[in-house]
């Protein structure tokens, strides 16, 4: 599996931490920046991650900003992206199980590093329930 990672300055430190975590899990990384704590604009990075996933340069994506909110809004502008901001384990599990989220958004000023890594693991390890109503709803999202 290959995961694209993107962050603004507010999510930079968390992105760097998660890179190590993912590599330890044997997951290939596509790092789309940013590369420092210098101030940048999150829409650029959210969009880049969304494009990378939709164009098949990565299987999934993780985006980080201060809250996870701004960069998730940007990623969700790309058709085919289902980006979910998660702040706890239940959300991380459900965004995989019910929403088939292909990008996870996390807040570097909201979550601790280990907490964020545990949400990433849940999101990766929880299968989409598929079939029936969840598939129908995800298909409807994709058609919008
Ligand atoms: C940047 O200061 C901050 O606004 C950004 O990281 C994010 O939290 C926006 O949603």
- The mean pLDDT of 34-44, rounded to a whole number, is 98
Which residues, in sequence order, are CB contacts of 72 under 8 Å at separation 6+? 46, 63, 83, 84, 85, 103, 105
pLDDT tens for residues 76-119? 999 999 999 999 999 999 999 999 999 999 999 999 999 999 99
Q: What percent of the chain has pLDDT above 90?
A: 97
- The mean pLDDT of 10-36, rounded to a whole number, is 98
pLDDT given for residue 54 in this prediction = 98
* 10, 43, 45: residue to mutate for ligand 1 pocket, most atoms within 8 A of CB: 10
pLDDT surpasses 90 at 56: yes
- The mean pLDDT of 30-53, rounded to a whole number, is 98
- The mean pLDDT of 3-17, rounded to a whole number, is 98
Q: How confident is the model at residue 130 (pLDDT cuts 50, 70, 90)?
A: confident
Q: What percent of the chain has pLDDT above 70?
A: 100
DSSP line for the chain: -EEEEEE-TTTHHHHHHHHHHHHHTT-EEEE----SSS---HHHHHHHHHHHHHTTSSSEEEEEESSSHHHHHHHTTSTT--EEE--SHHHHHHHHHTT--SEEEEETTTS-HHHHHHHHHHHHHSPP--SHHHHHHHHHHHH-
13 lines ligand 1 (CB under 6 A): no
Alpha-carbon distances, residue 120 vs 35, 55, 131, 140 (angstroms):
21, 22, 24, 25
Domains and CATH numbers, the chain: 2-143 (3.40.1400.10)
What does pLDDT average to over the chain? Answer: 97
User: Which residues are catalytic, by number?
Assistant: 65, 98
């Amino acid at each position: 599996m290959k995961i694209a990672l993107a962050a603004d300055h507010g999510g930079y430190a968390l992105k760097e931490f998660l890179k190590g975590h993912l590599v330890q899990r044997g997951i290939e990384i596509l790092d789309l920046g940013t590369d420092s704590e210098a101030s940048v604009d999150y829409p650029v990075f959210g969009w880049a991650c969304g494009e990378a996933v939709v164009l098949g340069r990565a299987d999934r994506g993780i985006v980080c900003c201060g809250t996870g909110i701004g960069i998730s809004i940007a990623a969700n502008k790309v058709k085919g992206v289902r980006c979910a901001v998660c702040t706890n384990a239940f959300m991380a599990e459900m965004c995989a199980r019910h929403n088939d989220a292909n990008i996870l958004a996390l807040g570097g000023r909201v979550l601790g590093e280990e907490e964020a890594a545990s949400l990433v693991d849940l999101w990766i390890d929880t299968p989409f329930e598929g079939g029936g109503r969840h598939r129908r709803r995800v298909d409807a999202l994709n058609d919008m």
